[in-house]
Amino acid sequence: MAYEEAKKKLRGSICPVITPFTESGEIDEKTFAELINWQIASGSHGISVTGTSGEPSSLTIAERKRVMDLAKETIDGRVFFAPGTGSTNHDETMELTKYAEEIGADAAMVIVPYYNKPNQEALYQHFKTVADSVVTPIIIYNIPGRSAVNMEVSTMKRLVEDCPNIIGVKEANKDFEHVNRVLLNCGRDFLLYSGIELLCYPMLAIGGAGFISATANVEPAKVAELYNAWDAGDVKRAQDLHFELMPLNDVLFKDTNPSPVKVALGMMGKITPKLRLPLGLPSAEIQEEVRKTLLDLAILSEETAVR
């Protein structure tokens, strides 16, 4: 896909689909395919897997490749596909990004390495080496709350200037001044996606390309509609959806993502709410908050809720 074409196509609500597990902890492949089909039927514009919501650090490299394979096969070209291919390990990131290209992903989302806290020059060298190894479009995933380091705008600008296939960034950064400066310095056509749920609407207002929101796992139709309303010029509807989704956004981050999301999907009868250690289910109090929010928003009814 030519990069200008990719910039036109890779827009909207991209759901970072969770990785469902069986009760024994294996990847639940059948349920995974069902979740992707539900996302597409609900209007999601794209699918990502093995990002933060997909518990990538709890998966082996072979499992991450298997999840990518299953997603690509299930999507079957109906929407665009941008798997997460980043890791704390440079060689693993290279391997997974090359694999995404091999299977024909539309883009690869590469996270700022977590835990090891590289400096800005090391970040530049890491991303440039990965980008130079493929022709597939690259979306930087900047999430300082998880990685403990922020990719500075100056570093991102260098990468965009030196790597034509780096076409966008998922900004899970609460600093709205920072994200404004990303577009100013990287170009107004640079694809800016919100990874902070409460900034999905505001980022559209400054020229964002969409969002990669964990909330879409639970309420895909309304998250996609928020983008569609804005794109159609219906600002009032987009604003209304922004505030309507706020209680759900809040409760789904009462504990570490994707724990509350998996609880919600379990209550909805979509998955077995299982996580791999070291992650676990949230407290009973938070689970009750999730249930109440789902009931208040009519995502669940007392008759359909799974206990």
Residue stretches of the annotated binding site for pyruvate? 53, 212
The tokens of 274 are what? 């299982």
Complete DSSP assignment for 72-132: HHHHTTSSEE--B---SSHHHHHHHHHHHHHTT-S-EEEEPPPSS---HHHHHHHHHHHHH
Active site residue 72: no
Q: Which of 122, 156, 115, 120 is nearest to 138 (CA)?
A: 156
Q: Give the residues across from 84 on adjacent strands.
A: 109
Active site residue 141: yes
In angstroms, the first-to-last Cα distance of the chain is 45
Q: Is 175 left (phi over 0), alpha (psi -120 to 50) or beta?
A: beta
Catalytic residue among 7, 65, 72, 170: 170
Q: Which of 245, 222, 180 is nearest to 13 (CA)?
A: 222
19 contacts 271 by C-beta, under 8 angstroms:
no
Q: Which of 109, 183, 164, 175 is nearest to 140 (CA)?
A: 109
Catalytic residue among 99, 141, 193, 201: 141
What residues act catalytically? Answer: 141, 170
